[in-house]
């Protein structure tokens, strides 16, 4: 499991800009208005081969009467509690403020690595002014400029050195299947039906499962760890402190599993929040199985209802449509074992290794017959391909002009890989490299 790093500080010091730079994707909202980050954002990053998860927290304001700011404070405290290390960000333009001192006082009580990042240090004058942050009593500080990345290398070097080593999971050799989805979609009932006992509390109240829990499944020739997670709600709907904690644990479960079984309520449909869960799993390169639960409750079913429902889901998940969709009913136990068989097959697909000779024998004739379109009068010639030694399927295609290969052709290559080698349910990455 990867370490978690929380980025904390008062509002408007540049935390979201720093977060976006580290995850190399504009995910957190960045705005000059104080307090734009009302809740936490999650992302993954790595430095010098060490991977870690990032939490961008809202700005911390101790003692505020503002209801939003009091909720932000609760989130920050939970993020600090869950994190393995904390980056405390301050702003050299404003200097040391009473809010900075309040946050520093809180952090001095935390027995975890604290790294003080002084942001917006983009000239020598500001470098001199940063000295005053020694007064916070947190030791060495790191002058950075999150807008252009200046100084972040030294900060990340220190972060990696400070992060505790992760303990190996005793059963890490077993596949991990995470059961995820919105609250009250039937996740705990699904696991109870599989293992044949009431292991988890099941009620009609959304959010009964407060944490992620593991169950070792060893029946009918299958053996794996099954992880039941708290339901992931839309962030605006999350009210309780415990639920913030549950969402974080669910995100961690997705990050650290092999296959995600995304359970959705057939009566509610494949809505925006379920799609967010799907794309979170896809971004993390996990195997995916979509389970449409409560199919027995869908009224007025006709011959083509299931096909139409499936087509609707595939339309929403384009271009990654090569995903198994299983219609189940936990109540009647309809197709629940097919769901597990499908998940095991997806795990095997994700672990599949194709011999280089076989890959070249199949793919090179296809690519020779349909080469990349000419670009600026230049032609791309693909000479060789190989599967990379990664936990999930990634392929490198070596050619003379990789910079001229566009995304539509990469999707074409991915589709041909899927046609000839079964990668159902698994994100596939295709890279073009200089020969």
Residues annotated within the binding site are 9-16, 56-60, 119-122, 181-188, 228-232, 293-296
Question: How many C-beta neighbours within 10 Å does residue 198 have?
Answer: 10
Angle at 187 between CA 184 and CA 190, to 5 degrees: 125
Q: How far apart (Å, rounded) are the C-alpha atoms in residues 10 and 89?
A: 8
Instruction: Please provide the size of the chain in residues.
Output: 435
Measured CA to CA, the distance from residue 114 to residue 392 in angstroms comes to: 34
* 163 contacts 50 by C-beta, under 8 angstroms: yes
Strands 382-387 and 394-399: antiparallel
Pairing of strands 50-56, 41-47: antiparallel
Q: Could you tell me which residues are beta bridge partners of residue 86? A: 6, 114
Closest CA to 259 of 176, 143, 321: 176
- 20: its two tokens: 């976006």
Q: Binding site for GTP: residue ranges? A: 9-16, 56-60, 119-122, 181-188, 228-232, 293-296
Question: Please, what sign has the CA dihedral across residues 282, 284, 293, 216?
Answer: positive
CB 401 within 8 A of CB 378: yes
- The DSSP-derived string for 199-259 is -S---SSTT---S-EEEEEEETTEEEEEEE------GGG--SHHHHHHHHHHHHHHHT-SE
The position carrying tokens 């074409």 is 412
């Amino acid at each position: 499991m990867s370490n978690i790093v929380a980025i904390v500080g008062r509002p408007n010091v540049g935390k979201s800009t720093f977060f976006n730079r580290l995850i190399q994707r504009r995910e957190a909202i960045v705005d000059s208005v104080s307090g734009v980050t009302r809740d936490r954002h999650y992302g993954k990053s790595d430095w010098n081969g060490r991977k870690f998860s990032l939490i961008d927290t809202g700005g911390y304001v101790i003692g505020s009467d503002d209801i939003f700011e009091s909720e932000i404070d609760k989130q920050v405290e939970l993020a600090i509690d869950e994190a393995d290390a904390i980056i405390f960000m301050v702003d050299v333009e404003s200097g040391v403020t009473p809010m900075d001192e309040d946050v520093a006082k809180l952090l001095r009580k935390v027995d975890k690595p604290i790294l003080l990042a002084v942001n917006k240090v983009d000239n020598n004058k500001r470098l001199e002014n940063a000295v005053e942050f020694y007064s916070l009593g947190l030791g060495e500080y790191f002058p950075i400029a999150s807008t252009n990345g200046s100084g972040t290398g030294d900060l990340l070097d220190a972060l990696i050195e400070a992060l505790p080593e992760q303990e190996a999971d005793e059963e890490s050799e077993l596949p991990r299947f995470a059961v995820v989805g919105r609250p009250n979609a039937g996740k705990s009932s699904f696991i109870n039906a599989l293992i044949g006992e009431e292991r988890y509390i099941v009620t009609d109240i959304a959010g009964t499962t407060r944490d992620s829990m593991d169950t070792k499944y060893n029946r009918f020739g299958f053996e794996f760890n099954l992880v039941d997670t708290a339901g992931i709600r839309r962030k605006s709907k999350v009210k309780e402190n415990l639920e913030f904690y549950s969402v974080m644990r669910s995100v961690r479960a997705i990050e650290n599993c092999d296959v995600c079984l995304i359970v959705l309520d057939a009566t509610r449909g494949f809505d925006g929040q379920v799609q967010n869960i799907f794309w979170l799993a896809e971004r993390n390169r996990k195997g995916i199985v979509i389970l449409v639960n409560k199919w027995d409750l869908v009224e007025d079913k006709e011959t083509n209802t299931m096909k139409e429902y499936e087509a609707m889901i595939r339309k929403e998940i384009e271009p990654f449509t090569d995903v198994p969709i299983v219609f189940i009913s936990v109540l009647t136990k309809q197709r629940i074992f097919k769901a597990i068989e499908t998940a095991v097959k997806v795990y095997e697909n994700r672990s599949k290794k194709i011999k280089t000779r076989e890959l070249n024998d199949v793919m090179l004739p296809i690519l020779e017959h349909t080469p990349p379109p000419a670009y600026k009068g230049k032609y791309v010639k693909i000479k060789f391909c190989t599967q990379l030694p990664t936990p999930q399927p990634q392929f490198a295609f070596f050619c003379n002009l990789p910079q001229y290969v566009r995304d539509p052709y990469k999707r074409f290559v991915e589709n041909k890989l899927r046609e000839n080698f079964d990668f159902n349910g698994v994100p596939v990455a295709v890279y073009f490299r200089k020969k």
